[in-house]
Structure 1
């Protein structure tokens, strides 16, 4: 399992109801079921990943996240996960609104476009290719890249509460440089969000 997914698993309470959006091969949901007794569903568009989920015994629905979550009732889940998928959505802001409607807590992760390696590539006149942004500009799924500061500004504007965050380097570690300048030195951002206070 990816190192960032292992960190997310630490945030999930035992017995929780979980919806994993863009769940890939279902490895996180399978891990949560075994180690946290979590139950829930994955949404995935790729047929090969859907097949891998079924093989793992993970409940999966083949669906496009850009179509929204209208089939899910308000408050259906304790956690809704969106890992390394935010930047590939048509309207990430609307997606998070929907996530916070159907789930008590949202866990959102994304590559930080403000990282110094990204900035260096742009200064040299090129779109960045890094460990967390591995595709060239012409074959990437990413359409809405953001920085840590961009994301936190969106949260503040929409009234979403940042319950917890972890900002990590490419080795999935925290350190003094990230504490000193989070947007410059973090490569991967993990956020635990809750909806507006009182609503």
Structure 2
């Protein structure tokens, strides 16, 4: 099974046998990979009913729920990892969601599209319009992205809150790229965090 590049990074860095909560798990592709290749106990939370049905049909433990409201129902330290991939920018209160991830998981993986990537900047500068790219494929009026985060914004946020970055990976066109000038060069970022 081929995973999206950010999910492949996460799957490769989750310790075998871990308890995992995948928040915004979609159809459960990452969960299935973690169960099959890392012997993890993976659970999922997903807003979209169709994706929940697909994941459950695959034999995965997924419930329908909302990251903005339902993470509070999970007990402290219930998981080794809480994962939020390409979902942070769609939440109403990303700061609260991040706090919840780190409350319920010993570590958290967070991935997001970088809104400061040079193509996004060029689209705004030269075209004067909100960009439509591979990672941001929808027009401004139909996108679920409501908080446009950049690599530097995220780094500053976690530093100000005393959150430790254990790992960071940056992608450009689905391939790893250097951390040097990541705010400008990376289309996508993946962070591994802990308190």
**Hey, what does 1:156 align to over in structure 2?**
159
TM-score normalised over the length of structure 1: 0.94
Q: Distance in 2 between matches of 1:180 and 1:31?
A: 30
Q: Distance in 1 between matches of 2:153 and 2:7?
A: 23
Q: Distance in 1 between matches of 2:174 and 2:6?
A: 10
1:106 match: secondary structure: strand
Q: Distance in 2 between matches of 1:163 and 1:132?
A: 25
Q: Distance in 2 between matches of 1:66 and 1:179?
A: 30
**Hey, what does 2:60 align to over in structure 1?**
58
Q: How does 1:7-156 map to 2 (within 5 A)?
A: 7-124=9-126, 125-156=128-159
Following superposition, the deviation at residue 173 of structure 1 comes to 2.2
Question: Pick from 169, 172, 176: which aligns with 1:173?
Answer: 176
| Alignment RMSD (CA, Å) | 0.9
Paired residues of 1:115 and 1:183 also in contact (CA < 8 A): yes
Following superposition, the deviation at residue 179 of structure 1 comes to 3.9
2:108 match: secondary structure: strand
Following superposition, the deviation at residue 40 of structure 1 comes to 2.6
Count of residues paired in the alignment: 192
TM-score normalised over the length of structure 2: 0.96
Residue segments in structure 1 that go unaligned for 5+ positions in a row: none
Paired residues of 1:172 and 1:188 also in contact (CA < 8 A): no
**Hey, what does 1:183 align to over in structure 2?**
183
Q: Distance in 2 between matches of 1:49 and 1:145?
A: 24
